[in-house]
Amino acid sequence: MIRNRRVCLLIDTSMSWGVRLIKGIARHAQEVDNWLIHVEPRGRYDRFRIPQGWSGDGILARINNKGLAQEIMASGLPTVNVSWYPYSGERIARCTVDEQATGRMAADYFLSAGFKNFGYCGALHRVGYPDEFADAFCLALKKSGYSCSIYPTPPGDQHSIPWNTHLASLVEWVQQLPRPVAVLAWSAARGRQVTEACHYASIRVPDEVAVLGGEYDDLMSDISSPPLSTIDQPAEQVGYEAARLLEAMMRGKKAPKQPLLFPPTRVVVRHSTDTLAIDDEMVRDALRLIRERAGDGVRVSEVVRELAVARRALEQRFVRLVGRTPAAEIRRVRIEEAKRLLVETDRSIADIGRAAGFGHQDLFSRVFRRSVGSTPSQFRRKHQHTS
């Protein structure tokens, strides 16, 4: 008889990210069929601890404080950290989403919409945390010639500061930002707080301030006003691979020194970023036409003809303001729509290719693999949300 392995999950269950992580872990547990999982309902900012009286074989944790990292190291149990927070460095294995790639994706998304002014609103309860997400976002903007305003978190113990003080600080910050401005928030919850501050400041979202949450969460996105755009991340895949890594470690394999990182999936576009911040009427009209009709197979020649402009003039202004040619933008929009359909639907690959504007499945697969680094089928297996 195979001995059961007792595994403790120190992962919050209040947000979509944590729930999906646990689903991925559960899929691996069902495959090996000898895990006894201990998990408790947890909030996003709970200070996790190993449960008193629990003893087991391994831990999967969203390590969110130094005390937990020290407790885990003292226990000597094989552990995989699924958090962005690198507490304990190489001493605890880590499996999570690529923080820097997520920041770059956010920058690329805002730049493609023509923004020239940018802001970043970091985690409320993580003062002093080395925020590689923000660093990558700001560096990508700097390489394109832009700077970024960082929200100055009020000093002191964030847990003891009343919410109206935090809100007033956010309102003051968004009021002083040059507009139109694109604001990236640490999480969906933080993004919803930014849209709330905009409401109290009588600032229109997304026309004056476009807001993007750095982490996908259904509830926070839905209750934001307007509904919040977020960056989707492959939580189920991270959970599954973290569980596989822990299984190997419980069997005696050494913990890897380098973290196992997975790229973000896509930007889930909702109303909070559904705008274009481009003054050039020709380019703005071309972008709108491309986004509306890329799935119908629109070509650059059709865009030029419909707008009654010279192709060379459009391409030059497009490259200067958007950073890519009209043809590259058509290809990008088609790939993003294909990603959405692969993640959100069970439609066939061929059907998705046609719906995204690719005439033939071979062409779709070839362009998708060149752009994304995997085939459509591989992308679906890694990123599709499980029910």
pLDDT digits over 224-257, tens only? 999 999 999 999 999 999 999 999 999 999 989 8
Residue 361: per-residue pLDDT: 87
54 with 118, same domain: the answer is no
187 with 250, same domain: the answer is no
Q: Which residues contact 183 (CB under 8 A, 6 or more apart)?
A: 118, 119, 120, 121, 174, 177, 194, 209, 210, 211, 212
- Boundary of a domain, candidates 219, 251, 273: 273
Residue 136 parent element (H or E): helix 132-143
Distance set, CA 140 to CA 268, 299, 370 (Å): 20, 29, 22
Residue 386: per-residue pLDDT: 60
Assess whether pLDDT exceeds 60 at residue 68: yes
CATH number reported for the structural domain that contains residue 375 in this entry: 1.10.10.60
62 with 111, same domain: the answer is no
Phi/psi for 266 (5° steps) reads -175, 170
Q: What is the distance between the alpha carbons of residues 63 and 86, in angstroms, rounded to a whole number? A: 8
Q: pLDDT tens digits for 188-233?
A: 999 999 999 999 999 999 999 999 999 888 899 999 999 999 999 9
Would residue 381 be called left, alpha or beta, if left means φ above 0 and alpha means ψ between -120 and 50 degrees?
A: alpha
- The structure's pTM equals 0.85
The tokens describing 43, both together, are 């909030």
Residue 16: per-residue pLDDT: 87
Q: pLDDT tens digits for 285-322?
A: 999 899 889 889 899 999 999 999 999 999 999 888 88
Nearest of 49, 47, 38 to residue 6 by alpha carbon: 38
172 with 183, same domain: the answer is yes
State the CB neighbour count (10 A cutoff) for residue 164: 8
Task: Give the β-pairing of 266-268 and 229-232.
Answer: antiparallel
CATH number reported for the structural domain that contains residue 119 in this entry: 3.40.50.2300
Q: What is the mean pLDDT of the chain?
A: 90
Residue 127: per-residue pLDDT: 57
222 with 242, same domain: the answer is no
Rounded to 10°, the helix 281-293/300-307 angle is 130
- Boundary of a domain, candidates 218, 248, 273: 273
Q: How many domains is the chain partitioned into structurally? A: 3
Helix (H, G, I), strand (E, B) or coil at 310: coil
Residue 227: per-residue pLDDT: 95
113 with 80, same domain: the answer is no
Nearest of 211, 215, 214, 207 to residue 227 by alpha carbon: 211
Query: Could you tell me the residue range of the domain that residue 24 belongs to?
Result: 5-97+234-263
Query: Peptide bond preceding 78: is omega within 30 degrees of 0, i.e. cis?
Result: no
125 with 227, same domain: the answer is yes
249 with 150, same domain: the answer is no
62 with 15, same domain: the answer is yes
Residues 356, 364: contact at Cβ < 8 Å? yes
60 with 128, same domain: the answer is no
Range with the largest mean pLDDT of 48-52, 181-185, 365-369: 181-185
Q: pLDDT tens digits for 126-173?
A: 655 678 999 999 999 999 999 999 998 877 666 677 878 889 999 999
Residue 156: per-residue pLDDT: 66
CA atoms within 13 A on the CB side of 38: 18
137 with 217, same domain: the answer is yes
43 with 59, same domain: the answer is yes
